[in-house]
Structure 1
Amino acid sequence: MGGPTGTEPMTTSDWGDWLPRAIEAADPDGVAVWYLGCNGFVLKGSEGTTLFVDPYLGTGDPPRTVRMIPVPFDPTDVGDADAVFATHEHSDHVHGESQAPILERTGAPFVAPDASMAAAREDQSWEDRWDLTDDQFQEVVEGDVVEVGEFTVHVVEVNDPDAEHPVGYVFEHDAGTVFHPGDSRPAEWFVALGEEFDIDLGIVAFGTAGMIPDKQTREPTYTKWYNDEGEAVEAASALQADRLLPSHWDMWKGLTADPTALQDHVDSFEHPRRLELVEIGDRVDL
């Protein structure tokens, strides 16, 4: 199985609490989207509904996976959250030290597919380590529709060959639609998704290949976990996304990438119409 796995500690935030305070103070006209680095995001609607997707504040598993960006906040500084969504079970997407304190502090539900739920409840024992209730764990499958405040969230099939059971989320709002497919590669059914949903902002995990120590042997091993330039734009084009936001390119030493390299590929397609380049802590709006 590819991707970071296991449990590792959270480090202290490099930035203090300014980012969660900025999110709480924001009053978007439509939907504001903050990039948390790795593949983590916060969506906040005009009525105040606040959704976290794959927030990760861990340091990885050095020397195999080495975090290359700041830890942007302490999860205990999060005061507002209406749900925390996980796309798949890898530890940079399901991480107790990053996510359980948010659930404990806010009472928000953890929304995830079965393998992610097992990682939280069985492998990492969130309920034993934090004050959480059974009804905070909401398991979903493809085809489910979840209503959270002003957002309608569709659970959809994605293509991540490194995960046991990955899903994607289409976040619909009156102001626009955001698609977060986790670490998915292109899939033939993305065309149908693009026809069904008018996707304003498509998030695609982007990176390079590298020689990463094997999980068991620690021998350097050729590793490719995310989309390359062609795959990233292929996915966004099939989805007919108006804007492509590349993620994950900043995270792991040896697998980082230059998102500006996507521009020439984007220019060759009708979709995406725009490349949305953001760094950790940046905000974009719908």
Structure 2
Amino acid sequence: MNYIYNRDEALIREINDTAIHFEGVAIWSLGQAGVVLKGTEGGGFLCIDPYLTHSIEQEDPTTEFVREYEPPVRPEGLQGAASVLITHYHNDHLDLSTVKALKDASPNTTFAIPASHCDMVRDMQWDTDRLIPARAEESFTVGGFRVNPVAAAHTQYETDEEGNHFYLGYCITVNGVRVYHSGDTVITDELIEKVQSFKPHVMLLPINGGDFFRTQRGIIGNMSYREAADFAALVGADIVLPIHYDMFPTNRENPANFVDYAFRTYRNQKFHMLCVGERFIYMR
């Protein structure tokens, strides 16, 4: 079965050739929580949470986390990215194999990794200006993107001894469009307040949820499809793009549940279900 809409050289060519003009952004799904964002040509493109290898099952043949489809692009195919943003240390988000391959292939790409877990990549021999220790509420600019990390609660907020959050989401402003990628998180009052103040046009939110039995197997939960739809409506997003439901058969949600709930509850709320490798262009 073919799970991928666009892949390999065709996908790379599409990312490089796509031209975005006033108040727009192009978004490509890489599967799971991975996406590529591109604004105007001069601002380049950035990647969030690219998991583009089979490293999880290769490193642990007994794992239940076996990806259901091949990576849509090899890590080196994303060379030229302005930056890679990592939301947290779990290896379907911070994939060391993807990071190393892209780092070596693309010498001008920066990598923003939560400061709490930068030690996981220290042995990759970084130039000092290429590794950005990301901290909640400490904004930075990469290419044409203004990035503000916000704390996330992967069931709860966690910090290291210096107060650096383990889990982050990113509020990104590009080409006049505000995009919020939540990373892995549940919804809290603090998160609602932060995202409401950002006033996102586009929200990328996980919908795989969590339950007792997955928690018993050590799988940390996320917001559910109902919560994602409610969250997007509450903060007034123009469109919501569900993520984090498609890669691992034992930790997923049927996206039809999101569609059904949104249709019945928020008839005026736009949403789009991305195919892996699909380009979606949003215009304000």
CA distance in 2, matches of 1:162, 1:71: 30
Matches within 5 A, 1:244-255: 244-255=240-251
**Equivalent residue number for residue 188 of structure 1:** 189
Identity among equivalent positions (%) equals: 25
- Relative distance call for 1:163 and 1:118 in structure 2 (3 A) is farther
Local SS of the residue matching 1:135: coil
Local SS of the residue matching 1:263: helix
2:246–2:252 contact (8 Å) kept in structure 1: yes
**Equivalent residue number for residue 223 of structure 2:** 227
Deviation at 1:231, TM superposition (A): 2.2
Matches within 5 A, 1:235-274: 235-267=231-263, 269=265, 273-274=269-270
Matched, 1:170 2:171: yes
**Equivalent residue number for residue 45 of structure 2:** 50
Count the aligned residue pairs: 260
**Equivalent residue number for residue 9 of structure 2:** 17
**Equivalent residue number for residue 112 of structure 2:** 111
CA distance in 2, matches of 1:192, 1:227: 16
**Equivalent residue number for residue 74 of structure 1:** 74
1:35–1:279 contact (8 Å) kept in structure 2: yes
Deviation at 1:203, TM superposition (A): 0.7
1:229–1:262 contact (8 Å) kept in structure 2: yes
- Note the residue ranges of structure 2 that are not aligned, 5 or more in a row: 1-5, 159-165
**Equivalent residue number for residue 148 of structure 1:** 142
Q: Deviations over 1:117-160 (max 9, x none)?
A: 12222xxx322xxxx42321111211111112222111112221
CA distance in 1, matches of 2:47, 2:154: 20
Deviation at 1:208, TM superposition (A): 5.4
Instruction: Flag the structure with higher helix content.
Output: 2
Amino acid at match of 1:22: E
- Relative distance call for 1:271 and 1:173 in structure 2 (3 A) is farther
- Note the residue ranges of structure 1 that are not aligned, 5 or more in a row: 1-13, 215-219
Say which is worse superposed, 38-47 or 187-196, in terms of deviation. Answer: 187-196
1:89–1:163 contact (8 Å) kept in structure 2: no
- Relative distance call for 1:140 and 1:267 in structure 2 (3 A) is same
Deviation at 1:264, TM superposition (A): 3.1
Q: Deviations over 1:231-284 (max 9, x none)?
A: 222332333222111111111121222212112322455598112111110111
Q: TM-score, normalised by structure 1?
A: 0.82
CA distance in 2, matches of 1:225, 1:150: 33
Matches within 5 A, 1:275-286: 275-286=271-282
2:208–2:222 contact (8 Å) kept in structure 1: yes
Deviation at 1:176, TM superposition (A): 1.2
**Equivalent residue number for residue 6 of structure 1:** none
**Equivalent residue number for residue 127 of structure 2:** 133
- Relative distance call for 1:154 and 1:18 in structure 2 (3 A) is same
For the aligned residues, what is the CA RMSD?
Answer: 2.5
Local SS of the residue matching 1:281: coil
